[in-house]
Structure 1
């Protein structure tokens, strides 16, 4: 047993669980109202699956949008599969939760951003737990990040 509580790793797990729950609800019931998602993920993650031409075009990261047209959304404990349209070419993707860098729902100004270091490498998370809340405009783009610490009184 460790002599410290790894809040950073626990927060990452909880936020990825939130993403899994949201996507599971969308799988079961569809996107409600104006909700839609911008999801940026690490294309170099060993479990990420995408067409070779997409990996060549996006060698390090890619942002996908789940909004008007998506098909075959399948949510699992480790990630999700979805088919998206890229220039009239439907392509299946598999995105592990561990590969997600940002998750944004601009319709309600909700965003999560995960630091690029892996949970296993986070031996000393310090005061920054590696999870931030962003505005929708900030999360898909590298802009100012609002840390959870800023919400403490």
Structure 2
């Protein structure tokens, strides 16, 4: 068998990430149509990901967000998307490069894509990576200062996110402000239904 010098696997992954980008761009323009909603799983350690230190501590490797009822400021960039969500009543802004996405699910129509987060031909611009690093430092200093003033660490949050039927997966943080208690439907579960 010949060696794949064209790297079809990477080309297909990048093309599918482009589809996710187009879907999010459409939702950013017109809102979520009908019953559509999205579970987006991403690697929290991937280059360019920006989440608060509080969320990073809670989700050290992977996080799944739900874009359904309460999200705001969905901004679609060339290499990443940004969205505002509430976690336990605390508003947060997340920046997620498309290359960090591990899964994209729309349970309303049983549509799912899975990705290998490190497998991409796309290189993030150095300016984006530097900006994320600088923001992370500022947010960490701000968080440390607030913790000293409060004298208390963040308490446990109550989980009550919607639970689609299917195989249990990683904790879910959803746009309704609840996190940790939902399930993500796996691609295998979708395949069994079709």
Name the TM-score class by shorter chain: 0.7 to 0.9
Name 1:12's counterpart in structure 2: 13
- Structure 1: gaps of 5 or more residues: 121-135, 148-153
Name 2:85's counterpart in structure 1: 84
For 1:113 and 1:3, locate their aligned partners in 2 and report how far apart those are by CA, in whole Å: 21
For 2:185 and 2:109, locate their aligned partners in 1 and report how far apart those are by CA, in whole Å: 18
1:107–1:3 CA distance, 2 compared to 1 (3 A): closer
Name 1:74's counterpart in structure 2: 75
Q: What is the root-mean-square deviation of aligned Cα atoms in Å?
A: 2.4
Output the TM-score relative to the length of structure 2: 0.61
Greater percentage in strand = 1
- After superposition, the C-alpha distances for 1:107-145 in whole angstroms (9 at most, x for unaligned) are 00000001244336xxxxxxxxxxxxxxx8458366748
More deviation, 23-32/109-118: 109-118
Name 1:97's counterpart in structure 2: 98
Which 4+ runs in 1 deviate beyond 6 A? none
For 1:88 and 1:30, locate their aligned partners in 2 and report how far apart those are by CA, in whole Å: 22
1:14–1:137 CA distance, 2 compared to 1 (3 A): farther
Equivalences, count: 131
1:31–1:46 CA distance, 2 compared to 1 (3 A): same
Q: Residue 48 in 1 paired to residue 49 in 2?
A: yes
